[in-house]
Amino acid sequence: MSTAAELVPPAARSCTATSVAGPSFSVTTQLQRPSVPVVVMQSGSLPPRSPTCTWSPAVAVPVTVVVPVERTVPAAGAVIAIVAAWAAGAVRPEAEATAARRISRSAAVLLRDRRSWGTGATDGLPGTAMSTSDFTMRPLDGGARALSRAPHRCYRMSTNRRRWFTRTGEPGECERALPREYTRPRHNGGQTMREDEARGRDRRQVRAEAARFDDPRELARILPPGLRIGLAQSAFQTEGSLEVGGRGRSVWDDFALRRGTIAEEATPEIATDFFLRWREDLALMVDLGVDELRLSVSWPRVQPDGRGSVDRGGLGFYDQLLDALAEAGIRVALTLHHRDTPSALSGGWLNRDTAFRFGDLAFELGSRLGDRVADWITLDSPATVMLEGYALTRHAPAAGRLFSALPALHHQLLGHGVALEALRAAEVGGRIGIVDALAPVEAASDDEHDRAWAALADVLRNRLVADPVLTGAYPEGPEELPPFLGPLAQADPVDLARIAAPLDFYAVAPLPPQRIAAGRDPLAPIGVGAPPALPFHTVAWPELDRTGDGSPMAPWAAVSVLRSLVERYGEALPPLVVTALGASYPDEPDREGTIVDTDRIRWLGAHLAALAEAVHEGLPIDSVQLWTLVDAFEWQHGYTRPHGLVALDARSHDRVPKASYDWLRRVLDSRS
């Protein structure tokens, strides 16, 4: 059955309607405002164009909106559409925006006006018992208002590809009244952070909060219905079989052969043996119930020389793998380049030509695999590749050029822009984005030197990629320091235009928070032959618990960097994906051989809960991808920092699910 979405103001000047299908309910409210646009959101999706009406001045207008119910509203009452109304001056009249907030077990009317407010009531909602009191407006900080059911939430309209997001901390705008454990944001070292987040809450509070999620149902209860939960992995860290077929060498193959570069002299020659045992891992994913898998293509496996013809056997592996994932119903996010640059490309990313060879790879993969990939990721963490591999020597290719390595960043981003053009020329069906590794950064003290170097560290970690990709310009360093980033200011405007081509999503790999102090790391080696070091270093967070690799446990960190993106880039920011979310803990089997990794369970539970709450508060997060399924080769750490839900037998390479695997399976089962 087809019903029109009706807007019935008695003194309407203009009105458009959008067709909806299926059974429906209506919402009625009274508005008294000279000119008020009304937007309707279908439950769980965005209509092609929102119906909008404008009324003549000074009239109390009853508005009835007929909205489809469909299957998203069960008898118990679950997610129901929202009707939003706000002052005409708050946004452009032509803005196509909708309220993306979903409220469980209720229908809601969210009214925002700086001068006059109304109340709403529901009529004929199936499976719900509502009263006018459910929609009473109450004031928050600064005079803003929100539903009494969610008194700490406050929304502001923005036209970001027809999505809503929440902004906080802007003078004169709507500021969210924060939950009890938070305080107002402050600025330190260039990054927006909350006072208690920066200094750390009482450890007992953090531990007690994390322990709640030992029960999978507790976490499943708060996960937003539309949030996808998946896994992430990379080719070099999992595939092994480095000499199989026509695969060429990568810079990481060469780096791992150098003595002293990898912990315990480990080798990636086998890794998790994914190239030969991927069917076992696929069965584990299906049993786990994940929504999606992010994986990467090995560039030297597909193009052994980094250019020219494609190796049919290498491409055939990914062709077969994507077919199997599609058959299993697992959504695919494919990373074109995850750090394993072909050794045959002289100079790697220091050579501008590499950007165009990468574009060739993107076109080949888009043409041959484009019908089975939902999300295309051009590059993984280009700032990390430049900092760790070209400025320093901790990663391949260990160039050690410090700030002279900045061309390696620019050429990666140019490659991103060229690859984006190539994928669109190949007419791929999926979305296109990039992965950026971000971390909250603050100064170790109020000393002016610490603050200046922390501001530079914040730019290096959090803005080197996002600024050019989202705004078309590179950031500048703090005025108190030499112009370390000066070479980026000379970038060709044509390059910047290619780099800043619009994206469909922006993926964030959240890193632990960093405290920055001026000066070289006192623990870094010195003297002839010592590796280069940056003129600042990180210091510990003694008030926070640590993971197995010494990183601070801070569930707020991922949300902090996401909020900072929204605040800094606003409408330029596309929908967000959180990727590579995971932690390393030592895994010790008990007497029965079972690995009970309670610490990992609580880490994952606390972080997923923080992200779920951020989605409920309005952050446009599409999915969360956990790192990772099977304990993998963790770059310079080899196999000493296990992150997986499944352990890997060192001799047989058999898969041994940990307690965290069963826990996540029950979370996903309970969610559905």
Q: What is the pLDDT of residues 463-495, one digit of tens each?
A: 999 999 999 999 999 999 999 999 999 999 999
Q: Which residues fall within 8 angstroms of residue 114, CB to CB, at 6 or more apart?
A: 87, 143
Q: How many Cβ atoms sit within 10 Å of the Cβ of residue 508?
A: 22
Residue from 561, 272, 568, 533 nearest 439 by CA: 561
In terms of pLDDT, which residue wins out, 17 or 568?
568
Q: How many Cβ atoms sit within 10 Å of the Cβ of residue 56?
A: 13
| 182 in any annotated domain | no
- Is residue 260 domain-shared with residue 139, that is, in the same domain? no
| 533 in any annotated domain | yes
Q: Residue 175: which pLDDT band, with cuts at 50, 70 and 90?
A: very low
Tally of domains in the chain: 2
- Is residue 257 domain-shared with residue 367, that is, in the same domain? yes
CA 48, CA 19: separation in Å to the nearest integer? 10
- Is residue 420 domain-shared with residue 505, that is, in the same domain? yes
CA 147, CA 128: separation in Å to the nearest integer? 17
In the predicted model, is pLDDT for residue 6 greater than 80? no
Q: What is the pLDDT of residue 54?
A: 36
Percentage of the chain beyond pLDDT 70 is 69
In terms of pLDDT, which residue wins out, 352 or 197?
352
| 192 in any annotated domain | no
| 244 in any annotated domain | no
Q: What is the pLDDT of residue 201?
A: 53
Percentage of the chain beyond pLDDT 90 is 65
Mean pLDDT of 441-469: 98
Residue 278 has phi, psi (to 5 degrees) of: -65, -25
In the predicted model, is pLDDT for residue 459 greater than 70? yes
Q: What value, to the nearest 5°, has the Cα angle with vertex 346 and ends 342 and 347?
A: 100
| Joined tokens for residue 179 | 């939950």
Asked whether the bond before 513 is cis by omega within 30 degrees of 0, the reply is no
- Is residue 267 domain-shared with residue 163, that is, in the same domain? no
Q: What is the pLDDT of residue 77?
A: 28
Residue 415 has phi, psi (to 5 degrees) of: -60, -40
**From residue 297, how far is each of 85, 282, 314, 329 by CA, in Å?**
46, 17, 9, 20
- Is residue 491 domain-shared with residue 623, that is, in the same domain? yes
- Is residue 441 domain-shared with residue 502, that is, in the same domain? yes
Q: What value, to the nearest 5°, has the Cα angle with vertex 597 and ends 625 and 665?
A: 50
12-15 and 53-55 beta bridge pairing: antiparallel
Do 68 and 22 meet the contact criterion of CB atoms below 8 Å apart?
A: yes
CATH code assigned at 514: 3.20.20.80
Of 456-465, 589-598, 625-634, least confident by mean pLDDT is: 589-598
- Is residue 163 domain-shared with residue 308, that is, in the same domain? no
Residue position matching structure tokens 């089962």: 669
Q: Residue 29: which pLDDT band, with cuts at 50, 70 and 90?
A: very low
Residue from 162, 128, 4 nearest 68 by CA: 4
Question: What is the full DSSP assignment across 176-206?
Answer: PPPPTT---EEEETTEEEEHHHHH---HHHH
Residue from 81, 137, 79 nearest 111 by CA: 137
292-296 and 228-232 beta bridge pairing: parallel
Q: Residue 198: which pLDDT band, with cuts at 50, 70 and 90?
A: very low
Q: What is the pLDDT of residue 479?
A: 94
Which of 177, 194, 216 is the endpoint of a domain?
Answer: 177
Helix axis angle for 556-569 and 598-616, nearest 10°, is 30
**From residue 350, how far is each of 305, 389, 411, 415, 475 by CA, in Å?**
17, 11, 7, 12, 20
Mean pLDDT of 213-236: 96
- Is residue 138 domain-shared with residue 263, that is, in the same domain? no
**pLDDT, tens only, 390-400:** 999 999 999 99
Summary count for the chain: helices (H), strands (E): 18, 27
Q: What is the pLDDT of residue 107?
A: 27
Of 132-141, 517-526, 613-622, 642-651, least confident by mean pLDDT is: 132-141
- Is residue 274 domain-shared with residue 143, that is, in the same domain? no
Residue from 508, 523, 516 nearest 541 by CA: 516
E strand or H helix that includes residue 96: none
- Is residue 43 domain-shared with residue 125, that is, in the same domain? yes
Question: What is the full DSSP assignment across 362-384?
Answer: HHHHHHHHGGG-SEEEEEE-HHH
Q: What is the pLDDT of residue 672?
A: 62
Q: Residue 347: which domain range?
A: 204-226+252-671
Q: Residue 55: which pLDDT band, with cuts at 50, 70 and 90?
A: very low
| 184 in any annotated domain | no
Of 25-34, 539-548, 641-650, least confident by mean pLDDT is: 25-34
Do 561 and 555 meet the contact criterion of CB atoms below 8 Å apart?
A: no
Q: What is the pLDDT of residue 641?
A: 98
Q: What value, to the nearest 5°, has the Cα angle with vertex 25 and ends 35 and 124?
A: 110
Q: For the chain, report the end-to-end CA distance as a whole number of angstroms.
A: 28
| 570 in any annotated domain | yes
CA 508, CA 578: separation in Å to the nearest integer? 5
Q: What is the pLDDT of residue 202?
A: 58
Q: How many Cβ atoms sit within 10 Å of the Cβ of residue 473?
A: 15
Q: What is the mean pLDDT of the chain?
A: 77
- Is residue 216 domain-shared with residue 172, that is, in the same domain? no
Q: Residue 310: which pLDDT band, with cuts at 50, 70 and 90?
A: very high
| 36 in any annotated domain | yes
Q: What is the pLDDT of residue 162?
A: 25
157 CA to centre of own chain: 21
Question: For the whole model, what pTM was predicted?
Answer: 0.73
| Contacts for 123-127: CB closer than 8 Å, 24+ residues apart | 123/25, 123/26, 123/27, 123/28, 124/25, 124/26, 125/25, 125/77, 125/80, 126/23, 126/25, 126/69, 126/73, 126/75, 126/77, 127/73, 127/74, 127/75, 127/76, 127/77
**pLDDT, tens only, 578-593:** 999 999 999 989 888 8
Which of 142, 177, 212 is the endpoint of a domain?
Answer: 177
Q: What is the pLDDT of residue 528?
A: 72
In the predicted model, is pLDDT for residue 61 greater than 50? no
In the predicted model, is pLDDT for residue 74 greater than 70? no
In terms of pLDDT, which residue wins out, 195 or 140?
195
Do 370 and 350 meet the contact criterion of CB atoms below 8 Å apart?
A: no
Q: What is the pLDDT of residue 506?
A: 99
In terms of pLDDT, which residue wins out, 141 or 625?
625
- Is residue 146 domain-shared with residue 218, that is, in the same domain? no
DSSP 630: B
**pLDDT, tens only, 603-629:** 999 999 999 999 999 999 999 999 999
In the predicted model, is pLDDT for residue 40 greater than 50? no
Of 62-66, 299-303, 313-317, 609-613, least confident by mean pLDDT is: 62-66
441-443 and 514-518 beta bridge pairing: parallel
| 613 in any annotated domain | yes
